[in-house]
A and B are shown apart, each in its own frame.
Chain A
Amino acid sequence: MLDTILDIVAGTFMIIGSLLSLAAGIGMLRFPDLLSRLHAATKPQVLGLFLLLAALGIELRSWAVVPILVMAWGLQLLTAPVSAHMVGRAGYRTRHLKRETLIVDELAAVVAAAEAREEREHGKKQHRTDFID
């Protein structure tokens, strides 16, 4: 009885985790620009991996494997925001974004101030254009 319930829970977790990967794939294909694709890509990184690792822990029925599962998930949880931040920042600075899709752009004032300072100190005016795919 308990075995059946645990099997059903593990199977549900596995199906939902796979569906999150599918959602990431559809989002990668359908979303318009880099930042929204980044949003789609983070879905299986945290919840998807958690569900699949939880299904593994349930199906193995052992507490001994739980620490390494927690370590795998925690490592993903620590590294995912850093890499997403780096990719998003590089995308903003190399102008791979559609500004009309943004609601709030807090970085624009900082970048404008830095460009004004550069122009004052070096005296050259740079004309940069956005890179719209």
Chain B
Amino acid sequence: MTIVLWICGITLSIASCLTLVRLAKGPSILERVIAMDVLLLIISGALCIEMTMNKHTDNLIFVLLACLVGFVGSVTVSRFVTDRRNA
């Protein structure tokens, strides 16, 4: 299981680095919203893997909360985004 942990850790690290690049580069705020959503999912995935490895359920509430926070955040931002260039 240690090998599995290493593979998952390296994969999630590369994924979060790529997402951070998009978060920094993203031309518009909507791209940044999507990148934040993916980053939040990677973090909750890492929490799941940590729980699986140490065989406890302490972080399950954080996985639920990450899901809700991501939903509220992306809906709020996309509700208030405007077409500033053509205004």
Residues in B5-59 with C-beta less than 8 Å from chain A: 7-8, 11-12, 14-19, 21-22, 27-28, 30-31, 33-35, 37-38, 41-42, 44-45, 48-49, 51-52, 55, 57
Of B28, B35, B48, B79, most A-chain CB atoms within 10 Å: B48
Q: Report the number of A-B residue pairs with Cβ-Cβ less than 8 Å.
A: 168
CB <8 Å contact, B41 and A21: yes
- Which A residues touch B8, using CB under 8 A? 14-15, 17-18
Given contacts A49-B45, A65-B57, A68-B60, contact A37 B34 (CB under 8 A): yes
**Cβ of A35 to closest chain B Cβ, rounded Å:** 10
CB <8 Å contact, B34 and A18: no
Residues of A participating in the B interface, judged by any CB pair closer than 8 Å: 7, 10-11, 14-15, 17-19, 21-22, 24-26, 28-29, 34, 37-38, 41, 44-45, 48-49, 52-53, 55-56, 59-60, 65, 68-69, 71-72, 75-76, 79-80, 82-83, 86-87, 89-91, 93-96, 126, 128-129, 131, 133
4 closest cross-chain pairs (CB), A and B: A25-B18, A25-B15, A79-B71, A133-B27
